[in-house]
């Protein structure tokens, strides 16, 4: 397995064009199953999770062509309704194919998505909603068999938690349903708006995406369209953390600053100066960060759970104590043990992590166990004395395009071996 070698204390300088959003690309590619005709998706990040989704689309019978960041999908001949276990296990988010396959074919058979490194990842909210829309879903040992022979029916759905994946699954399933579906307590993430914008261009009737209540009037058919995926706000937050821990000035290009509205104040709190506008953001970091005080992860527009790990890593050498409260996932502190091996002073108690700023971190051999945890270890490596060897690079490749190439272009001493 490859490893990343990061030698710290190098200042960064330069400009990064932020990749397309992984968490927009994945549901949007699933949604192409609903359409007839050609879809051309621009700014699609080159990630292993995206490759996994393309394999599923091809398996189902879709024509898929990729050239760089542009993907062409034609779903006129969807011929299968199942997803084999090995493909399901490649990415947790493949559950979002469930609604699309049922809506298109009237049935679906897929294994339970692998739990992943940050918790069991239940899908009860997805299944409850699809059943309320008339799907018959049998949960057998390890996999689901679903039937909706007369199609799905619009329903009034109330989510007990604003689940991103469940909101996306329901929106996709409701586009071709008989009648109107309303989702109360829907997730409001920008990726939901991106999905709805794509589907509405295909002829769907989705109202209120990005709000707490979303209404979808079912239509009879959707026509493929062209769409450009929004920038990845979590990748942007990660590169901001890299600049913050190295006392650097870095420019991000191709961002939507409103998507970072809950992230920018945390960096400003820790002493960074941020200028943004016209799709660009400049971050000027101080020699040493001040504490971030308290960071609570919340559903959008609150602080995103995916940015917790990279920013917690940046807090490890700040002056003072930073407190993190992880409210979304129950096991999303697995990077902390590895940061402590590098000299970080962190105590966790349930959802809470207390980070006492250390004067320095020291290079060590560390292992990543999930995507954002891997990013956290790289952030820590950038400011550590000496060299950090990071295992689990395959996790980074799930969500960051050419991570080490981008960082070395900014002057970091980082290489994949
Ligand atoms: C999406 O995951 C993202 N993944 C995650 O990003 C992100 O962390 C998460 O939303 C929250 O923003 C993609 O978009 C592909 P949820 P998802 O359903 O849809 C519980 C990354 O690093 N829940 O909003 O799985 C669940 O256990 C990844 O890019 C249920 O209980 O997130 C969790 O505690 C990681 N039952 C909470 O809700 C359900 O049926 C939030 O999950 C569904 C979810």
Asked whether 49 and 24 are in contact (CB, 8 A), the reply is no
Model confidence at 331, pLDDT cuts 50, 70, 90, reads confident
In the chain the first and final C-alpha atoms are separated, in Å, by 9
The answer to whether the CB of 58 falls within 8 A of the CB of 72 is: no
Mutation choice for ligand 1 from 97, 114, 121, 233, CB with most ligand atoms inside 8 A: 121
Whether 166 is in the pocket of ligand 1, judged by its Cβ within 6 Å, is yes
Q: H helices then E strands: how many in the chain?
A: 14, 26
Which tokens go with 350? Answer: 């349930």
160: CA distance to ligand 1 center in Å? 14
**Contact status, residue 54 vs residue 64, Cβ threshold 8 Å:** yes
Q: Give me 416's structure tokens.
A: 């994949």
Say if residues 248 and 13 touch (Cβ distance below 8 Å): yes
Q: How many residues does the chain have?
A: 417
Average pLDDT over residues 266-294: 97
In this structure, what are the phi and psi dihedrals at residue 70, rounded to the nearest 5 degrees? -110, 130
pLDDT for residue 112? 81
In whole angstroms, what is the distance from residue 111 CA to residue 89 CA? 8
pLDDT for position 344: 98
CB 19 within 8 A of CB 45: yes
Reported as a pLDDT band with limits 50, 70 and 90, residue 140 is confident
93 Cβ inside 6 Å of ligand 1: yes
Convert the pLDDT of each residue in 223-232 to its tens digit.
Answer: 999 999 999 9
The DSSP result for 74-127, as a single string, is E-TT----EE-HHHHTT-GGGGGHHHHHHHHHSEEEEEPPPPBTTB----HHHH
pLDDT (tens digit, 9 = 90+) per residue, 158-170? 999 999 999 999 9
Three-class secondary structure of residue 366 per DSSP: strand
pLDDT confidence of 1, banded at 50, 70, 90?
confident
What gap in Å lies between CA 250 and CA 236, rounded to an integer?
Answer: 11
Contacts of 192 (CB under 8 A, 6+ apart): 164, 167, 168, 171, 186, 209, 210, 214
Residue to substitute in 163, 185, 187 for testing ligand 1 pocket (most ligand atoms within 8 angstroms of CB): 163
Question: Ligand 1, atom 27: nearest CA belongs to which residue?
Answer: 121
User: What token pair was written down for 184?
Assistant: 């109360």
Task: Look up tokens 């996932």; give the residue.
Answer: 329
Per-residue burial over 281-317, b = 16 or more CB atoms within 10 Å of its CB, e = otherwise: bebbbeeebbbbeebbbebbeebbbbbbbbbbbbbbb
pLDDT one-digit tens code per residue, 85-135: 889 888 778 899 999 999 999 999 998 876 566 777 789 999 999 999 999
Distance CA 417, CA 414 (A): 10
Provide φ and ψ at 324, rounded to 5°: -115, 140
Closest ligand 1 atom to residue 23 Cα is 14
Sign of CA dihedral 372, 360, 415, 366: negative
Give Cα 67 distance to the centre of its chain: 22
Is 0.85 surpassed by the pTM of this model? yes
Please determine, for residue 201, whether its predicted confidence score (pLDDT) is greater than 80: yes
Q: pLDDT tens for residues 360-416?
A: 999 999 999 999 999 999 999 999 999 999 999 999 999 999 999 999 999 999 999
Contact 187, 300 (CB under 8 A): yes
Work out the angle at residue 252's Cα, subtended by the Cα atoms of residues 250 and 255, and round it to the nearest 5 degrees: 160
Cβ contact 309:335 at 8 Å:
yes
Closest residue (by CA) to atom 18 of ligand 1?
163
Pocket lining: 329 vs ligand 1, CB cutoff 6 Å: yes
Q: Please tell me the residue having the least CA distance from ligand 1 atom 13.
A: 23
- 4 burial (CB, 10 Å; 0-12 / 13-18 / 19+) is buried
Asked if residues 191 and 230 have their Cβ atoms less than 8 Å apart, the reply is yes
Ligand 1, atom 22, lies closest to the CA of: 306
**Interatomic CA distance for residues 378 and 389, integer angstroms:** 9
Task: Name the residue among 206, 197, 203, 121 with its Cα closest to residue 165.
Answer: 121
Does the Cβ of 50 fall within 6 Å of ligand 1? no
| Average pLDDT of span 61-71 | 97
- Average pLDDT, stretch 57-84? 97
State the Cα–Cα distance between residues 54 and 26, nearest whole angstrom: 9
Q: Is 296 helix (H, G, I), strand (E, B) or coil?
A: strand
Q: Give 216 Cα–ligand 1 centroid separation in angstroms.
A: 22
Which pLDDT belongs to residue 114?
Answer: 62
Provide the annotated active-site residues. Answer: 116
pLDDT bracket for residue 176 (50, 70, 90)? very high
Cβ of 163 less than 6 Å from ligand 1: yes
């Amino acid at each position: 397995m490859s490893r990343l070698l990061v030698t710290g204390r190098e200042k960064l300088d330069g400009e990064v064009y932020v990749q397309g959003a992984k968490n927009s690309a994945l549901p949007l590619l699933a949604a192409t199953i609903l359409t007839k005709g050609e879809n051309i998706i621009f700014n699609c990040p080159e990630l292993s999770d995206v490759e996994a989704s393309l394999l599923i689309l091809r398996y189902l019978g879709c024509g898929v062509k990729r050239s760089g960041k542009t993907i062409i999908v034609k779903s006129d001949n969807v011929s299968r309704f199942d997803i084999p276990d090995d493909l399901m296990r490649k990415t947790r988010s493949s559950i979002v194919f469930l609604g699309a396959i049922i809506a298109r074919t009237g049935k679906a058979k897929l294994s339970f998505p692998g739990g992943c490194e940050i918790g069991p990842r239940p899908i009860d909210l997805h299944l409850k909603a699809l059943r309320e829309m008339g799907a018959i879903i049998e949960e057998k040992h390890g996999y689901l068999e679903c039937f909706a022979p007369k199609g799905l029916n619009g329903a009034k759905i109330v989510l007990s938690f604003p689940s991103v994946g469940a909101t996306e699954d329901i929106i996709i399933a409701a586009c071709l349903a008989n009648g109107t579906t309303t989702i109360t307590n829907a997730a409001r993430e920008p990726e939901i708006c991106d999905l709805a914008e794509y589907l509405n261009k295909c002829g769907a009737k989705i109202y209120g995406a990005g709000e707490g209540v979303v209404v979808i009037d079912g239509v009879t058919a959707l026509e493929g369209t062209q769409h450009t995926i929004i920038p990845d706000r979590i990748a942007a937050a990660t590169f901001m953390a890299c600049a913050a821990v190295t006392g650097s000035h870095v420019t991000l290009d191709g961002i939507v600053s409103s998507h970072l509205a809950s992230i920018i104040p945390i960096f400003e709190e820790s002493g960074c100066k941020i200028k943004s506008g016209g799709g660009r953001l400049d971050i000027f970091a101080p020699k040493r960060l001040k504490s971030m005080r308290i960071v609570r992860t919340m559903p959008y527009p609150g602080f995103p759970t995916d940015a917790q790990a990279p920013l917690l890593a940046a807090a490890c050498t700040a002056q003072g104590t930073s407190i993190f409260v992880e409210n979304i996932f129950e096991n999303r502190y697995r990077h902390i043990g590895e940061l402590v091996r590098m000299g970080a002073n962190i105590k966790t108690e349930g959802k809470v992590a207390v980070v006492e700023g250390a004067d320095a971190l020291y290079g060590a051999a560390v292992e990543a166990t999930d995507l954002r945890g891997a990013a956290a270890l790289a952030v820590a490596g950038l400011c550590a004395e000496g060299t950090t060897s990071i295992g689990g690079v395959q996790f980074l490749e799930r969500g960051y395009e050419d991570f080490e190439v981008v960082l070395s272009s900014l002057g970091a001493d980082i290489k994949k071996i």
